[in-house]
Every structure is written in C-alpha cells, then in structure tokens.
Amino acid sequence: MLRLVSRRRPLVVVAVAAAALALVALPASAGQRSASAEVVFVDVGQGDGVVLKVGGKIIVSDAGEPGKAAAMHAALEAVGANKKIHIAILSHGHDDHVGGFERLLTKFDYDIDVAVASENVHWSRTKTNRRLLAALDEHKVKIEWVTAKDTFNWGGASWKVLSPLRNAYLKDDEVENSSVVVLLTTNSKRFLFTGDIKQQASAALAQSWTAGPVDVFFVTHHGSAAGSAEALLKKIKPSVAVLSTRSSKIFAASTATRLKSHVIDAIYCTDTNGTITATVSADGIAWSTSKPGPAWWAKASGQKGECAGR
C-alpha cells in the first residue's frame, strides 16, 4: 500500500496507486530574483514540455507524451543537465503533459530530486499516471503537493504557486483546473505557466491577479477556446506569448484573435518555430528558435506563416 504525504486532505484514491512518497519542504527567498536563466519551450508536438536552467538548477515543467521523452532528453542535454533534474513540475495528470517523465526516469536514467504536483483523483485513473507514480516511487523521488501561496527559490529565482487553492479541483472532471499555475520571476522578468486551466480557474486567477504585466505567457491549454480567457489576458498584459500546439482542432481561431489583441510584442508557436528558447540575463530576454524565421506573429510585422492551421 502506497502512501502520499500532503499539505492538503489525503488523496485516498491515489494511495492505492503510489507508495511512500514523502513531502519535502522547499523554502523561498523572495528577494532573490537575479538568477540567469534559459527557458526552453521544447517542440513536443501536441503537448507541453519546458526545460529550465535557472541559477545552475535544472527544472522541468511538464515533459510531453511518453513518446516525446527523447525530445525532452535532447533539450536537457543541450542545457548541460547531465541526467539530473532538480525539480519536476507535473502541472496535471494528462498524458501530453506528464507522460514523458516516466521514460526520462526509466529509459534515459534521469535522477529527479523532487516532483511538484497538485492533488486530483485523476492521478490514479490512467495507465500512464499509474506508471509514472510507480516510477517516481521506484526511483525514490519525493513528491511535494502544492497549493496557491506556496513559494520557492529554486535556482535563486522566485517561484510562486498561484493555483489551485487548497481543497479545490479534486474531482476527476476538474483535472484541467487542478493545473499547477506558477509565476517565475528571474532578473526582474516574469514567466507565467498555467497548464490546462479552464474558465473557472482562469476567472479566479484573473480576479486575484495583482502581479502586474508578465514578460512571457505560456499559452493555456495549447490555445484552446477554453483557455487564455479575455479577463486573464487583460490582467497579465503579456509582452510575448509562447504556444505549444499542433492541432487546429485544439488551437481555436477565437484564441488566436484574443492573443493578437492583448500580446504586446510577439507570439511564438512550436508548430511554426520549433523549439523556442528564451535566454534571460540582466540585459533582458534574447529569443532563439530551432526552425529558421521570425516569430509566428509580431505586433510590428503581423503574421508569418501558419500555426497549427491558423
């Protein structure tokens, strides 16, 4: 029988699928915001996978589907991870976000110190999730179950969990809204990661938002109509948006219109631009892409090519 330790109420359903995964406390130092960083939005097709090197620490925020672990491994090698992940952020229990972690552990022999996630019964409801939990247990990876207001200083940067609230979105049909929403601040630049949150969680985030504009917004739920709501975009006023998608069935025309209305400078798309890297220093953010050419859309020059048929 596996036991998960949590800050919130026990997740009984997951307990039958995972075992002896301990909580680890990671304190934050709010004043440390000068860490240099590479933020690599990996082209994992229809999914999310982000590799971050912040102040020498390796953080992975989602890892795509199981079949995209090789792409994640290549991105990790490129930043010098040496098969070490200090923090793995599991935004929520969908295959196209967390499936790659199991293979990073079992096929590519990565060592993960801590996995960060939010509670939801869906963690025990799919074969991929059960395999992932078993791999985390086998490799003695500690799990931290987080909620809004938790703060960390991974790599000397500021990381703030903004959602979900304690005891919110625990049901199976609320798995998207249970996504771990994180605001990263490094060198005074802000990156917002929202997973797959839908209207309810997005509205709550917009209502509580006090952080001001963000420099980079990782577009919610691959650009679906249910994500990246108008109210949130008005609050966060992103300078740049990054979109990870392949399917026009997911990337909605209405979302493309909203993004173009609210993004200040540019929108990058993995379908168009490939793997997208933001290098953060005291001088600002420098952008590079694995595919040649400009951002999919820029305020100054308009749209260049297609992004998932848009």
pLDDT per residue as tens digits for the range 56-95: 999 999 999 999 999 999 999 999 999 999 999 999 999 9
CB atoms near residue 94 (< 10 Å)? 23
Q: Is residue 53 assigned to a domain?
A: yes
Peptide bond before residue 27 is cis, with ω within 30 degrees of 0? no
What pLDDT is recorded for position 34?
61
Residue 35, pLDDT > 60, answer yes
Coil vs helix vs strand at 128 = helix
CATH of the domain at 273: 3.60.15.10
- Is residue 163 included in any domain, yes or no? yes
Is 308 inside any structural domain? no
User: Does 29 fall in a domain?
Assistant: no
Tell me, yes or no, whether 15 lies in a domain: no
Please check whether residue 16 lies inside any domain of the structure.
no
C-alpha 159/C-alpha 33 separation (Å) is 10
* 41 or 227, greater pLDDT: 41
CA distance 215 to 295: 15
Whether residue 77 lies inside any domain: the answer is yes
Number of domains in the chain: 1
Closest CA to 290 of 271, 308, 303: 271
DSSP string, 61-116: EEE-SGGGHHHHHHHHHHTT-TTEEEEEE--SS-HHHHHHHHHHHHTS--EEEEEE
Instruction: Report pLDDT for 174.
Output: 96
Whether the per-residue pLDDT at 172 is higher than 50: the answer is yes
Q: Which residue has the higher pLDDT, 227 or 128?
A: 128
Do the domain assignments include residue 21? no
Task: For residue range 183-199, list pLDDT tens digits in order.
Answer: 999 999 999 999 999 99
Domain boundaries, position 241: 35-303
Q: What is the mean pLDDT of residues 135-163?
A: 97
